[in-house]
Amino acid sequence: MPVAKKIIITLLLPLVFIGGTNYLIDPDYTLRKDYIPSLVEALSTGKLVSGPMNINSRVLKKQWIDNLPFEPEVLVLGSSRTLGLSEQAFPGKSFFNASVTNCTFQDMYAFLNLFEKKQKRLPETVIICADQWLFGNAFAEKRWLNNRVDFVEMLQKASDLSERQFPSKWELQKEWMKELFSVRYLVRSLRQRRKTENFEICNSIAVNKMMFLPSGVRLLPNDVVNASESEIERRATDYFYSSRDEYFNELLVLQCQLFEDLVNYLKSKKCEVILYIPPYQPETYRLLQQSPQCKGVFKVDDYLLREARNYELKVAGATNPSKLNLSAADFYDGVHLKPEVLEDVFKQNQ
């Protein structure tokens, strides 16, 4: 066998093994999308879905919106911090929660565009979850690129920003390739090959599983949400030391413009805009206050309250948990309120 052929085979075989194993097992559901259409069909017909915590939520929500059998009067645009917000906070209103984990303003633009194309109008009320890290330079989420076309379409309607100021979809494809041939992902795939949980279509809620409801709401397992007081405190502390999203001292002009243009567009369409400023768990908040690297978090709070006054927006929430009379027990980690507490925050502002 020629030396060149041996070299090619030696290089290719490991890549084929790594890529093939990662793609077939895909423990984080990041490489494949073939499982999504059946979930969308079930959710669109009133069924529930249970399964693993990880899911390609942007592709799921895009297809879900395309197949949504009703026109929501209330739409939630946000991150995991609003994924548990349900229609119970808005009695008598049709409701859809379009939140996705690590949501960006680009995601919000894309989902609004999907609704406008489908319904020829926007929902009456739109909730914007303004995560503090969205305004800094430490947060670098690229999965919004799954829906880049819809983002650009809305950007052209709502803003004078150029699409050239934002990454191309190739950036996401590069991330996909890295994951496909990642040795670290291979180790996870091999370790979890018999433990990977499948998605299941259900007729009722299972409290010990992650659940998606037909309204777009995500429910977490009971042991996650109702952990012990000591476990919640540990999670709150761990969040501060493990996350770098809050490590910024100044607000980015581009992010502020994305936010303001989004609000302007919604107001021009006669939408009621509710600005949600998500609180931090008291211990996480204390640690942020003490960190000279996180001054931007508190500048965001001032900025959002100022813009809310300028645009006459309803405001729910606050960065400082004490302003809402929240205790550590109202959270299940450093940044997420328990669902019933989250609903109360919105009910208090109606």
pLDDT tens-digit readout, 312-322: 999 999 999 99
Mean pLDDT value of segment 118-137? 96
pLDDT of residue 350: 58
Mean pLDDT value of segment 257-262? 98
Cα separations (Å) of 181 from 15, 17, 23, 172?
A: 7, 9, 9, 15
Residue type, 150: D
pLDDT-derived band at 11, boundaries 50, 70, 90? low
Residue type, 171: E
pLDDT of residue 167: 87
Q: In sequence order, which residues have a C-beta less than 8 Å from that of residue 221 and are 6 or more positions away? A: 207, 208, 209, 210
Phi, psi of 98 (to 5 degrees): -100, 20
> CA angle at residue 261 from 260 to 267, to 5 degrees?
90
pLDDT of residue 349: 65
pLDDT of residue 50: 92
Tokens for 42? Answer: 């079930």
Kindly tell me if the per-residue pLDDT of 59 is higher than 90.
Answer: yes
pLDDT of residue 220: 94
Mean pLDDT value of segment 276-280? 98
Does residue 20 or residue 1 have the better pLDDT? Answer: 20
Give the whole-angstrom CA distance, residue 166 versus residue 106: 10
Tokens for 213? Answer: 């409801």
pLDDT-derived band at 271, boundaries 50, 70, 90? very high
| Domains contained in the chain, CATH given | 51-167+205-347 (3.40.50.1110)
Q: Is 119 exposed, middle or buried (0-12, 13-18, 19+ CB in 10 A)?
A: middle
pLDDT of residue 20: 76
pLDDT of residue 136: 96
Portion of the chain with pLDDT greater than 90, in percent: 74
Mean pLDDT value of segment 247-258? 97
Q: What are the tens digits of pLDDT across the range 138-183? A: 998 999 999 999 999 999 999 999 999 988 877 767 777 777 777 7
Whether the CB-CB separation of 267 and 311 falls below 8 Å is answered with yes
Whether the CB-CB separation of 109 and 263 falls below 8 Å is answered with no
Tokens for 216? Answer: 């777009």
Phi, psi of 94 (to 5 degrees): -70, 145
Q: Which of 125-129, 192-196, 236-240, 330-334 has the lowest mean pLDDT?
A: 192-196
Kindly tell me if the per-residue pLDDT of 195 is higher than 60.
Answer: no
- Three-state SS letters, the chain: CCHHHHHHHHHHHHHHHHHHHHHHHCCCCCCCCCCHHHHHHHHHCCCEEEECCCCCHHHHHHHHHHCCCCCCCEEEECCCCCCCCCHHHCCCCCEEECCCCCCCHHHHHHHHHHHHHHHCCCCCEEEEECCHHHHCCCCCCCHHHHHHHHHHHHHHHHCCCCHHHCCCCHHHHHHHHHHHCCHHHHHHHHHCCCCCCCCEEECCCCCCCEEECCCCCEECCHHHHCCCHHHHHHHHHHHHHHCCCCCCCCCCHHHHHHHHHHHHHHHHCCCEEEEEECCCCHHHHHHHHHCHHHHHHHHHHHHHHHHHHHHCCEEEECCCHHHHCCCHHHECCCCCECHHHHHHHHHCCC
Tokens for 58? Answer: 């942007």
Does residue 39 or residue 8 have the better pLDDT? Answer: 39
Tokens for 205? Answer: 């809620």
Give the whole-angstrom CA distance, residue 258 versus residue 256: 5
Q: What are the tens digits of pLDDT across the range 66-113? A: 999 999 999 999 999 999 999 999 999 999 999 999 999 999 999 999
pLDDT of residue 194: 58
Kindly tell me if the per-residue pLDDT of 51 is higher than 90.
Answer: no
pLDDT-derived band at 9, boundaries 50, 70, 90? low
Give the whole-angstrom CA distance, residue 90 versus residue 314: 14
Kindly tell me if the per-residue pLDDT of 201 is higher than 80.
Answer: yes
Portion of the chain with pLDDT greater than 70, in percent: 92
pLDDT-derived band at 1, boundaries 50, 70, 90? low
